[in-house]
Amino acid sequence: MTNIPTIEELQKSFSSVYDGPNRLQREYDMAKEAMYLNVPLEIYKCLYNLRHEQSIDPYPKKHEDWHHWRDMPSVWANWILQLPPKKKIFLLRKGLFKLVQSGIAITIVVAVVQYIFETEKRQTLRQYQAWQIIYAAGEQRASAGRNLALETLQKDNVPLVGLSAKGAYLDNINLKRVNLKEANLEDASLTRANLDEAIFEKAQLQRTNFFKANLKETKFIRANLKEASFDYANLEKANLTEAFLEDSFLVKAKLNKAILRGANLETSDLNKAVLKEANLEGANLKRADLEGANLEGANLKGANLEGANLEGANLEGANLEGTIFYKNFKINVEQIKKAKNWQFAHYDTNVNKQLGLSSNKPDIVSNNNKNTINDGCYKVDSKQRWQSFPLKGVKEISSIEGKWSVDDKKYNRVGTEGHSGNDALALEPYNSAKFKKEYPFGALLVYIPGKGITRVLMPNKISEENLTYIRMRINDNWLEDNGGELKICFK
């Protein structure tokens, strides 16, 4: 095996090699020395190029002279200075690359933090732009951006109270849980819209089209829905308390467990509608079309079904306590007897005979004890619907005292004549909330079995004979803001 020369022998040989500008001389000397030391020429050249290299630690080592962390920068600086030029260039490039990488990371972090902190600002801007689109659309039938703008506000839980979009084309829109209280969407189209749990309290929705819309648990309290269309719509558990639905269309609508207390459904079309377990207490269903409707388990206590078409309607388990069935030519005894409390409903004389009932049976629609002031005198509360009082052979209303108002915070209390003058003019936009449109707001209404509904202005005689009860109420369907009461005495 060839002996490898020592470091000292190599360094002595390197000193013999020409180190000047004459490259030929240097190459010649290296070839000669390589041959002399019996080392391959390429290896010799590599070793020759390393002749001035010094031994350097791979990184600065801890030294006993280090007394404080502040000494480290100078130690590292000295270490770098000792590095060969190529090593310095390599480390410089690597360091710059790391700095660039770090810069990108820092930029991303800063951008994320800035994005988070500016979320509210962006949301405000987005909402402002959405409102601009809505206002620009005005009452145009169709608007390219209005639907998206409304959905944007809905997703941000922005209330749309008082929104005006009369005649707007809003088909298939998704406004679940939106608050449209007192909004005006008259003549608008909301076909197949998703309005689950939306709020339309006191909204103006005349002739609005809700065909096949999802209105589950939606609130239409006191809303004006005259001539609105709900054909095939889902109104399960919807709240339509005291809503005005005159001439509305609810063909095959799903109204399971819906609340329709005091609602005005006069001449509405409920053909084959599903009203299972719906609450229709005190509702006005005069001349409504309920042919084939399912009223199983519904609460019809005190409801007025005079002249309604009930042909084929399912009344099984329905509560008919105090329900009015006058002029129902297409109802039969079998239908009625499937219901509950049918003995306490009000029928025409011929139906009474078929049912084996007395035409002068007592009325138990309301708890009279709550309204009794003393013997022969009763309280008519402005916050209640029809209130029944036993006559016990009396022949006249002897006195009427007290005052009431259909909005106790806005209008002065009045007597049996109802609101007049400036108050009547101010109430005109809300005429749909009257129980009887031909009489003023706040008028005292009386229902006499066999005669129908009229008004009472002053004490007078009761011409009907053999009556056992009478019913009274204020002329108003929106009862929550009412105030006051009348004291009616009979003798």
DSSP assignment of 48-60, as one string? HHTTT-----SSP
Lowest mean pLDDT among 13-17, 283-287, 378-382: 13-17
Q: What is the CATH classification number for the domain harbouring 482?
A: 2.60.120.430
Q: Tell me the average pLDDT across 290-301.
A: 96
Quick check: is 478 in a domain?
A: yes
Contact, 185 vs 203, CB < 8 A? Answer: yes
Instruction: Average the pLDDT over each of 330-339, 425-434, 463-472 and give the range with the smallest value.
Output: 463-472
Task: Say if residue 360's pLDDT is above 70.
Answer: no
Residue 340 lies in a domain: no
Per-residue tokens: 263: 């609602």
- CA-closest candidate to residue 364, choices 393, 401, 389, 336: 389
The reply to whether 81 falls in a domain is no
Residue 67's pLDDT band (boundaries 50, 70, 90)?
Answer: low
CB 176 within 8 A of CB 155: no
pLDDT reported for residue 319:
95
For residue 259, the SS3 value is strand
Given a contact cutoff of 8 angstroms between Cβ atoms, the answer to whether 312 and 331 are in contact is: no
Most confidently predicted of 93-97, 143-147, 387-391: 143-147
Which pLDDT band holds residue 95 (cuts at 50, 70, 90)? Answer: low
Tell me what the pLDDT averaged over the chain comes to: 84
**More reliable by pLDDT, 87 or 276:** 276
User: Is beta strand 444-448 parallel, antiparallel or unpaired with respect to 452-455?
Assistant: antiparallel
* 109, part of any domain: no
Residue 33 domain flag: yes
pLDDT at residue 199, rounded to an integer:
97
In-domain check, residue 31: yes
Q: Which residues pair with 453 in a beta bridge?
A: 447
Q: Identify whether the C-beta of residue 360 lies closer than 8 Å to the C-beta of residue 341.
A: no
Spatial strand order of the sheet with 483-490 comes to: 372-374, 377-381, 483-490, 397-405
Strand partners, 372: 378
Range of the domain at 446: 368-490
Task: Note the pLDDT of residue 100.
Answer: 52
Domain presence at residue 77: no
C-alpha atoms less than 13 angstroms from C-alpha of 197 in its C-beta half-sphere:
3
Question: Exposed, middle or buried, 225 (CB in 10 Å: 0-12/13-18/19+)?
Answer: buried
Q: Per the structure, how many domains does the chain have? A: 2
Whether 353 contacts 372, CB under 8 Å: no
Query: In this model, does residue 326 exceed pLDDT 70?
Result: yes
52: buried, middle or exposed (CB in 10 Å: 19+, 13-18, 0-12)?
exposed
H/E run at residue 150: helix 146-155
310 to 230, 285, 336: CA distances (angstroms): 20, 11, 10
Q: Which residue is listed with tokens 């022949």? A: 395
170 vs 94, higher pLDDT:
170
**Domain assignment of residue 212, yes or no:** no
Residues 173, 153 contacting (CB under 8 angstroms): no
- How big is the CA angle at 344 (ends 342 and 348), to the nearest 5 degrees? 85
458-467 b/e (C-beta count within 10 Å ≥ 16 → b):
eeeeeeeeeb
With bands split at pLDDT 50, 70 and 90, how would you rate the model's confidence at 283?
Answer: very high
**Which of 88-97, 159-168, 229-238, 472-481 shows the lowest mean pLDDT across its residues?**
88-97
Q: Please, which residues bridge with residue 403 across strands?
A: 485
**What's the confidence (pLDDT) of residue 116?**
65
Higher pLDDT, 141 or 237: 237
CA distances from 487 to 362, 442, 447, 461, 472 (A): 22, 15, 17, 17, 11
